[in-house]
Amino acid sequence: MTVAVAALGLMLPALTAANSDLMKLMSNSDNWAIFGGDYAGTRYSKLDEINAGNVGKLQPVWTFSTGVLRGHEGGPLVIGDTLYIHTPFPNNVYAIDLKDQSIIWSYKPQQNAEETIPVMCCDTVYRGLGYAEGRIFLQQADTHLVALDAKTGKEIWKVRNGDPKKGETNTNAPLVVKDKVITGISGGEFGVKGFVAAYNTSDGKLAWKAYSVGPDKDLLVDPKKTTHLGKAIGADSSLKTWEGDQWQLGGGTTWGWYSYDPDLNLVYYGSGNPGTWNPVVRPGDNRWSMTIFARDLDTGMAKWVYQMTPHDEWDFDGVNEMILADIDVKGKARKVLVHFDRNGFGYTLDRVTGELLVAEKYDPAVNWATHVDMKTGRPQVVAEFSTDQQGQDVNTKNICPAALGTKDQQPAAFSPKTKLFYVPTNHVCMDYEPFEVEYVAGQPYVGATLSMFPAGKVTGSGSHMGNFIAWDASAGKIVWSLPERFSVWSGALATAGDVVFYGTLEGYLKAVDAKTGKELYKFKTPSGIIGNVNTWRHNGKQYVGVLSGIGGWAGIGMAAGLTGETEGLGAVGAYKSLDKYTQLGGVLTVFALPD
C-alpha cells in the first residue's frame, strides 16, 4: 500500500506536467501544436491579422518541396520557431527553422515498401505528427510508432503497433495526451480487426488496447456501466451481433481523427466498416463497427458508444473527426460532440452522456435513409437503396452518398465566433453490387463492385462533385453551400479574422467569408490539395500553410519523366529549385500579407 502511494506520488507531477506542456502550447495561437489546432479538433485559430477585409492581399511567401510523390494529407505542426512536416510513405519528417526556412533535421525511416504499400487500400497517405514535451511522434505506414527528439530528430524509442502481413497499416496522426500516445489501425478492406492503442510517451510501452469488435474483455467495456444512448450495453454486446466468429474479421478499423476533453478525461474517435462490403454474408448489427467511442484516457474503458450505421451496407466508415464544442441546443447550453459522418448525417451528441441531440442530412442528396430515429438512434433505411435487401449480385442503383461518404476524413472546422461548422463535402452517388468473397490474410476483402457519379445525376442538380458548406449543428441545417467541381478533400481552417480556408483538387487555396461564404481570395498551388490548412504566427506575423500533392500519375507525356522520388528531397523553395524537384511531388506553400 505504502509503495503504491509512493509510486502514485511520484507519477502524478509528471502526468500533470506532460498534460500542461502541450495544453500550454495549444493555448498560444502562435503555435499550431496539434493536428486539430486543439484537443477539441476545432481547427480554429484566434489569430486575426489576416481577416475578411485584407485576405484578398494574401501572397505566397515561401515553399517547401517534400520530394515525395502521391497524396499529401494533414498539415504542419508549428512549435515556437520550428515547423515540423511529414510526407506520405516513406513518412519522412522535416524540422524547419522558421527564421530562415532551413532544414534543422530530417528523419527518413526505412520501411518495407513491398510489404506495406500493396496493403494500403487507397493511396499511401499519412495525416500528421504528434508533439509533446520535446518529442515528435511519428506513426509510420508499416505501423511502427516512433518517438523522436524534437531538437535533433534522433530516435528515442520505436514500437510496432500492427503487422502489414495481416493487412495492418497506419495512416492516422497520433494523439498525445498526458503520458500517452493514442493511435489506431487501418486495414478495413483487408479483414483487419480494428483497435485503439495507448502507448506510454516515456518508453513506448503499451498501456492499453481496446478493440472495436469481439468479447467484452477485448472491447474494454463495462457491460453494466458503458452505455449506448443512455442504456447499459449489457454482456457480449458485440459478439451477439455477429454470426459465429465473423467478428474475427470484423473491421471497425480506427484510421480517422482523435479528440480529447480534458475536463471529462475522455478520448473520442470512430470505427470503420465491418469487414467485407458484402452485407448479405454478415447478418446482424455488427457492433461496434461504425461507432463513436468515448473512452477514459487512463484506462481505455468505454464510457459510452453510439453506433451510427448498424449493419453497414455501403462502406460508411464512422472514422471522421469528432469536433468538441460548447453550443446551445434547443435553448440549452450543452457540451457537444459534432460529427459529420460518411453516411451523410451530421450528428450532434452530448459528449458527457452520449445522448443523441441532432441527426440531420448535411447534403440534401442523401437518400439511403429517410431519417434517424432519435429514440433508437437507428437510421431508417430505404429498401430501394439497401444493398442487403436488394441482395447479392444485384446492382443497387442511385444510392446517395457514395462509399466515400458525404464527407471522408478531411476535417471540418468550427468557429466559436460564428458558431458555425465549415465542412468540406462530397456530392457523389453510386451503384453498388455486393458479391461473395473469401478471406485471405493480407488480401483485399471487399466483395462489392461500385460505380460512382455526381449526385446531380440522381437529384437533377448539376454535375459538380463537391460542396463546401457552413453548418448549424444546433438546428442541423445548412447555412450556406458553395458548389465545387470536384469533391473537397482538404481540411478546413476557421479564424478569428472571420475567414475560412480550404483547398481544392485543382490546387486552389481558397479563403471565404465566414458569415456569407463569399470568396475573398484564391491562389493556385503547384498541385491538388488534400492536405489541411493550418495557421501560426512567427515574429508577430500571421502565416497560413497548406500541403499540396495528389495521388496518381498521368502515365505518359511529361509526367513520365518525373518518377524519381528521391530527387530534390527536402528542397526548400519549390520554385528556386525546380530543377531538383518533381512535378507531382508534394509542396508546402506558406502565405502571408505583404509587409
Partner 1 sequence: VKSCFWILAAAALLPIAADANDFPTQARVEYVLRCMDSRGGRVYETLYACVCSIDRIAERFTYDEYEAAEVLALLRTTPGERGGVFRDPEGYEELAKKYLEVTEAAEKSCFRSVAPSQGRP
Interface contacts to partner 1, rule CB under 8 A: 71, 121-123, 189, 315, 402-404, 426, 428, 450-454, 457, 465, 485-487, 505-506, 524, 526, 528, 550-562, 578-579, 583-584
Of 11 and 554, which CB lies nearer to partner 1 in the complex structure? Answer: 554
Of 470 and 488, which CB lies nearer to partner 1 in the complex structure? Answer: 488
Report in angstroms how near the CB of residue 439 gets to partner 1 at its nearest: 18
Report in angstroms how near the CB of residue 555 gets to partner 1 at its nearest: 7
Report in angstroms how near the CB of residue 61 gets to partner 1 at its nearest: 16
Report in angstroms how near the CB of residue 104 gets to partner 1 at its nearest: 28
Of 14 and 121, which CB lies nearer to partner 1 in the complex structure? Answer: 121
Of 428 and 546, which CB lies nearer to partner 1 in the complex structure? Answer: 428
Of 166 and 457, which CB lies nearer to partner 1 in the complex structure? Answer: 457
Element at 303 (helix H, strand E): strand 302-307
Report in angstroms how near the CB of residue 476 gets to partner 1 at its nearest: 26
Of 417 and 524, which CB lies nearer to partner 1 in the complex structure? Answer: 524
Kindly name the residue from 142, 285, 315, 388 that is annotated as catalytic.
315
Element at 399 (helix H, strand E): strand 396-399
Of 315 and 321, which CB lies nearer to partner 1 in the complex structure? Answer: 315
DSSP letter string, 438-478: ---TTS----EEEEEEETHHHHSS-S--EEEEEEETTTTEE
Q: Tell me the CA distances in angstroms from 205 to 66, 179, 334, one per residue in order.
A: 31, 11, 37
Residues 6 or more apart whose CB falls under 8 angstroms from that of 120 comprise 89, 141, 169, 171, 186
**Rounded distance between C-alpha atoms, residue 579 and residue 582, angstroms:** 8
**3-class secondary-structure state, position 57:** helix
Report in angstroms how near the CB of residue 63 gets to partner 1 at its nearest: 12
Helical spans, DSSP H, in 31-144 = 113-116
**Number of other residues whose CB lies within 10 A of the CB of residue 440:** 11
Q: Which grid coordinates belong to 3?
A: 509503495
Q: Which grid coordinates belong to 184?
A: 489506431
Strand order from edge to edge, sheet including 291-296 = 231-232, 227-228, 302-307, 291-296, 266-270, 259-261
For cell 457519379, what's the residue?
453
Q: Which grid coordinates belong to 350?
A: 452530448
HSE toward the beta carbon, residue 436, CA cutoff 13 A: 0
The closest alpha carbon to 98, from 60, 62, 136, 134, belongs to: 62
For cell 515556437, what's the residue?
80
Of 46 and 464, which CB lies nearer to partner 1 in the complex structure? Answer: 464
User: Is residue 245 annotated as part of the catalytic site, yes or no?
Assistant: no
Report in angstroms how near the CB of residue 528 gets to partner 1 at its nearest: 6
Strand order from edge to edge, sheet including 332-340 = 322-329, 332-340, 345-350, 356-361
Report in angstroms how near the CB of residue 484 gets to partner 1 at its nearest: 11
Residues 6 or more apart whose CB falls under 8 angstroms from that of 105 comprise 94, 95, 152, 153
Could you list the active site residues? 315
